[in-house]
Structure 1
Amino acid sequence: MTSILKDGIKVQPVPVKVVDLLHKVQTPTESGRSGSSSLETIAIKEFHSSLRSVIGDTSTFSLLLSADTSRNPFFHKGCAYVVDTDELYVTSDLLQSTISSRLPVILISKLSFRRTTESSSSGSLTAPITSIEWMKLRPPANMPMPSGAIPYKRGVLYCSQGAHEAYSGGLFHMPLGSRPIPVATNYFGRAFNSVQSVIEGKDGALWFTDSCAGFEQEIRPLPQLPSHVYWFHPTTGELRVVADDLKRPAGIALSPREDTLYITDTEAARPGNKHASRSAATIYAYDITRRPGSSPFLINRRVFAFAFSGVPAAVICDPTGNVYAACADGVEIFNSGGTALGLIQIPGTCSSLCFGRKGELLVCAGQSLWRLQLEGTIFH
């Protein structure tokens, strides 16, 4: 497919409002009935003074790309930043095919960034993005319906949800410029349901979530397995179920010390759910433990946080252990103890996010892609 060049990207300061949660009454407009927002720009709500260590005093934002004219949700999942090439890889939501008899499609966006010189008169940690080359790509035939993704071995590791064929989908490594290589495609002969998100540990092991989302969207056959969280080591080939107590596992993140695993349950967003107000829209935390001579286990499951609005579709950690969740109202930020620090309000419903260069937060919100430059001391 042809590429699109967008230049002249503007950088604007982010307004910050300190909110007293003890005395604040939320209005219907602020809470949002369906995750929609009337915002036309980004703003930050500070709930706790320690948020300043994240945002600093001069944080800025840019609207990198917008698909408002087509109204297609090109910026949905993936959000894998490759530092060596200064590129971001994003997957779309389901896009309807022009032929009614065919399944919807998911496209991959390859976004090549161009920046100002590294030195910045404003003292910013990272040079801002001034232009983008945007190329939309069809996934290879053996990697249908890609969802989550991370940078991996000079390329990208994709979660392929699969298609109507029972044994399609799994984890696939796509080296830059090469076709995808299967990494894990089944659990002892039983097909994965609809792999959603993956994270790599420092030891090279992969933790990933698998839910029935693909079956719910009618792109996958009847599930063969429960909704599981898996641990897989590509070197040894060992594959284990490490959690089976979530109804719709989605996002996944490791703490900086890799002693805590965060997993989101998005059961409240399940299509046709008549009891969404009583369903999980929750980030759970698990302790990671190892017995002598064994692979890791997850213990001590606990509620870490419940989303302010919508569901926590994706989750990441910063270098000090703060947790960022992509939700209907924007990016919700918590410290490692689960205290709500603040909210980065973003137009639309946020569905994925990742860190780029130092202090740079990249956020997907359906028809738009945003960049925030966080200037807090934790990134210095």
Structure 2
Amino acid sequence: MDNIDVSIWKIHDTAFREISGEHPILELLLDVEAYPFAHEAGVFLPDKNILFVTSNQFLDANGDKKVQISKISLKEDGQGASQEEIQCESIHMANGGVNDRKNTENIIFCAQGSMTAPSGLFRMSSVPPYKTEPVVTSFHGRPFNSVNDVVFSKDGCIWFTDPTYGFQQGYRPPPQVPCQVYRFDPNTAAIRAVADGFQMSNGLCFSPDELVLYVTDTDYIHGNGSTDPHRVSSIYALDVVHIHGQPSLQNRRLFAFVDVGVPDGIKCDMDGNVYSGCGDGIHVWSPGGVLLGRILVPGGAANFCFGRGGEIFILNEHRIWKAKLNPLVKGALLGI
């Protein structure tokens, strides 16, 4: 481990060596120079060995802003991948995504919406013709801002964030609700705002035991791309406490402040360590908030997802990288 490549792996605490393993590797899987195809989502379907990603915004042939959903097929030998663009007109400006707990062949996508199309959550099949249906598109009739990221809890409920990036970037109407975190119960269609007070609520994930919800606030970067070091670039931890049989978020506290860029996508491993895509790659913290180490990627990482046994697929705008960590490391979302 003394010969670890410090240009890729930055160790802040010796505990990171247990995560990186003896022979960590970072390798390029796919490079698409035409547009930034690998920005958000990052949904791994292990049974099919495929990955779904959403692009960053780019201009289409008509000069309009567009986000492209892509299916990434991973080669069986683990060396490289191929891209298929998915045509899905009902999901406008797609962003985050997560595996559907009810049907492993489906994906729940966040749609940021447009001036005429709603923002919300949509279910899409992972197989042709990629059938799509809305899950929830308003808070009791009040439109969402631009739904950003989504995660399931073990009871089958869906939690998601809703910042105002769409309005700031000119493709959504003025906000009608604050930047909040929501919980939607697909069995009863009940929806609740469960946390507020964020400037730009963005990524979210649960600890493996679901006793803590982590939420990132990315106000450091506003919709026009401007940055302000005085604004928030942090991860908050909130305890999940049940009151009268329903989850409540309490004891909000600062978990981590990011020194490079913003903490965008966020995930936990089965040991409770917290990973987030930041301006220089993936940062990793202990459950107690100690920065353990970084996987350094030129250009940073907006989002990522765990694969099998220590794999992490890193979305790096024009590129997808695969990091190979200790094979014992497993992502909490799929437990593999």
State the TM bucket, normalised to the shorter chain. over 0.9
Q: 1:136 aligns with which of 63, 81, 85?
A: 85
Q: 1:330 to 1:305 in 2, by over 3 A?
A: same
5+ unaligned residues in a row in structure 2: which ranges?
A: 331-335
Q: 1:150 aligns with which of 87, 98, 103?
A: 98
Contact 2:309–2:327 under 8 Å retained in 1:
no
The answer to whether residue 318 in structure 2 is matched with residue 370 in structure 1 is: no
Match of 2:126 in 1: 176
Higher relative contact order (CA 8 A, sep 6+): 1
Contact 1:267–1:281 under 8 Å retained in 2:
yes
- If you compute each CA radius of gyration, which structure gives the higher value, 1 or 2? 1
Deviation at residue 376 of structure 1 after TM alignment: 5.6
Match of 1:53 in 2: 18
Match of 2:333 in 1: none
Mapping 1:18-167, distance limit 5 Å: 43-68=8-33, 70=34, 72-100=35-63, 103-116=64-77, 129-138=78-87, 140-152=88-100, 153=103, 154-165=105-116
Mapping 1:295-374, distance limit 5 Å: 295-374=246-325
* Separation in 2, partners of 1:271, 1:350: 18
* Number of matched pairs: 324
| Partner SS state of residue 311, structure 1 | coil
Aligned-partner residue type, residue 171 of structure 2:
I
Q: 1:264 to 1:183 in 2, by over 3 A?
A: same
Match of 1:218 in 2: 170
Aligned-partner residue type, residue 148 of structure 1:
G
Deviation at residue 272 of structure 1 after TM alignment: 5.2
After TM superposition, the score normalised by the length of structure 1 is: 0.82
Over residues 319-362 of structure 1, what are the superposed CA-to-partner deviations in whole Å (9 max), with x where a residue is unaligned? 10000010001101100000000111001131001101121101
* Separation in 1, partners of 2:264, 2:221: 9
* Separation in 2, partners of 1:236, 1:326: 34
* Separation in 1, partners of 2:123, 2:309: 25
Deviation at residue 274 of structure 1 after TM alignment: 7.0
- Measured on the aligned residues, the alpha-carbon RMSD in Å equals 1.7
Deviation at residue 223 of structure 1 after TM alignment: 1.2
Match of 1:32 in 2: none
Deviation at residue 275 of structure 1 after TM alignment: 7.0
| Partner SS state of residue 110, structure 2 | strand
| Partner SS state of residue 115, structure 1 | coil
Deviation at residue 137 of structure 1 after TM alignment: 2.2
Over residues 111-165 of structure 1, what are the superposed CA-to-partner deviations in whole Å (9 max), with x where a residue is unaligned? 111223xxxxxxxxxxxx1242211223x22211100011112211100011111
* Separation in 2, partners of 1:355, 1:273: 28
Contact 2:309–2:329 under 8 Å retained in 1:
no
Aligned-partner residue type, residue 134 of structure 1:
Q
| Partner SS state of residue 30, structure 2 | strand
Q: 1:270 aligns with which of 203, 215, 222?
A: 222
Mapping 1:253-292, distance limit 5 Å: 253-271=205-223, 276-292=228-244
* Separation in 2, partners of 1:339, 1:376: 22
5+ unaligned residues in a row in structure 1: which ranges?
A: 1-13, 18-41, 117-128
Aligned-partner residue type, residue 146 of structure 1:
A
Contact 1:209–1:252 under 8 Å retained in 2:
yes
Contact 2:28–2:80 under 8 Å retained in 1:
no
Deviation at residue 273 of structure 1 after TM alignment: 8.0
Q: 1:354 to 1:274 in 2, by over 3 A?
A: closer
* Separation in 1, partners of 2:66, 2:255: 34
Q: 1:233 to 1:113 in 2, by over 3 A?
A: same
Deviation at residue 176 of structure 1 after TM alignment: 2.2
After TM superposition, the score normalised by the length of structure 2 is: 0.92
Over residues 191-239 of structure 1, what are the superposed CA-to-partner deviations in whole Å (9 max), with x where a residue is unaligned? 1110000001111111100010111111111111111100111112110
* Separation in 2, partners of 1:275, 1:43: 26
| Partner SS state of residue 235, structure 1 | coil
Deviation at residue 271 of structure 1 after TM alignment: 3.5
Contact 1:16–1:46 under 8 Å retained in 2:
no
Contact 1:285–1:301 under 8 Å retained in 2:
yes
Deviation at residue 292 of structure 1 after TM alignment: 2.7
* Separation in 2, partners of 1:348, 1:200: 29
Contact 2:241–2:248 under 8 Å retained in 1:
yes
Percent identity for Structure 1 against Structure 2: 34
Q: 2:197 aligns with which of 235, 245, 249?
A: 245
Contact 2:144–2:176 under 8 Å retained in 1:
yes
* Separation in 2, partners of 1:222, 1:194: 11
Aligned-partner residue type, residue 172 of structure 2:
R
Aligned-partner residue type, residue 46 of structure 1:
I
Q: 1:273 to 1:158 in 2, by over 3 A?
A: closer
| Partner SS state of residue 161, structure 2 | strand
| Partner SS state of residue 122, structure 2 | strand
* Separation in 2, partners of 1:56, 1:67: 30
* Separation in 2, partners of 1:170, 1:15: 43
Over residues 287-327 of structure 1, what are the superposed CA-to-partner deviations in whole Å (9 max), with x where a residue is unaligned? 0001133x211000000001120101111001100000100
